[in-house]
Amino acid sequence: MGKKSEKKNSRENSLTIQKKQILIVDDHPLYRKGLTEYINEEHDFNVCGEASDSTEAMEAIKNLKPDAVTLDISLQGPNGVDVVKSIKARYGELPVLIVSMHDESLYAERVLRAGAKGYVMKSEAADKILTALRRILKGQIYLSESMTDKMLEKQVRGIPKDVSSVESLSDRELEVFQLIGQGETTNNIAKKLHLSVKTVETYRANIKNKLNLSNS
C-alpha cells in the first residue's frame, strides 16, 4: 500500500508541475522535429512552438510567450546574433540558448554580449541542451567547461595583444567571412544577408585588412 501511494503521489506531483514553455528556432525542419520530441519527453518542459527564421521567431515569442528560446545562429535573413539582440531589446530578460553547429570559440562570447544566456554546440550530447535550459531558466549562464575556462583566463589576464584576428571581426564581418569560406560570391552573400552588393564589398575590404589578406 505504501509503495502504491508513493507512486500515485509521484504521478500527481508530476502532473501539477508547471511545465516551462520552450520555443525552438532553427532553419532545419528535421532538427526542430527531433529536438521537439526530445525536449517533450521531459516532465518539466513543453515545446510550445517552432520557428525557422527571425520573423517567425519574433512573432512566435509575441504570441506564445515562451519561458525560454533555443536559437540557431545560421538562419535565412538576420542571423542568430541579430535575433538575440532583437529579443533582448523587446523582451528584456527572456533567456535564449544558442544551439549551433558553429564553434563556440568563435561565437559564444559574441552571443553572450548580445544577450544570450548560454551556448551549446550541436555536436555535444543532447542532454547538454536540457542541462543548459534548466540553468538559464534559473538566471544562470551555461557554457562548456573549456569555454568557461577560456573566458575566465581572458578576464583575469586581460585581452592579449596577439588576440586572434578572427576575434577582431565584427559579428557581420564574421558572417560574411564564413560565407566567403563556403565559396559564396558577393552577389549570393548580398542576397542571403539581405544587404546591398556595395555593403558586402565594404565588409570584404574590412575583413581583408583585419586578417592581412592579400586576396579575398
pLDDT per residue as tens digits for the range 49-92: 999 999 999 999 999 999 999 999 988 878 899 999 999 999 98
Q: Write down which residue in 111, 129, 155 finishes a domain.
A: 155
Is residue 6 a part of any domain in this protein?
A: no
| Rounded Cα gap, residues 103 and 55, in angstroms | 25
pLDDT per residue as tens digits for the range 114-129: 999 999 999 999 999 9
**Mean pLDDT, rounded, of the chain:** 85
Is residue 22 a part of any domain in this protein?
A: yes
Is 72 within 8 Å of 26 (Cβ atoms)?
Answer: yes
- Residue 215's pLDDT is 56
CATH number at residue 197: 1.10.10.10
> Residue 178 phi/psi, 5° resolution?
-65, -35
> Residue 192 phi/psi, 5° resolution?
-65, -40
Q: Are 65 and 146 members of one domain?
A: yes
Q: Are 141 and 41 members of one domain?
A: yes
Name the residue range of residue 172's domain: 166-210
| Rounded Cα gap, residues 6 and 4, in angstroms | 5
- Residue 144's pLDDT is 86
* C-alpha grid cell, residue 184: 559564396
Q: What is the pTM of this model?
A: 0.73
| Cα dist from 201 to 105, 177, 187, 195, whole Å | 26, 11, 10, 10
- Residue 70's pLDDT is 98
Q: Residue 99 pairs with which residues in a beta bridge? A: 120
- Residue 15's pLDDT is 54
Q: Are 25 and 78 members of one domain?
A: yes
CATH number at residue 37: 3.40.50.2300
| Rounded Cα gap, residues 37 and 47, in angstroms | 8
- Residue 1's pLDDT is 46
Q: Are 118 and 50 members of one domain?
A: yes
DSSP assignment letter at 184: -
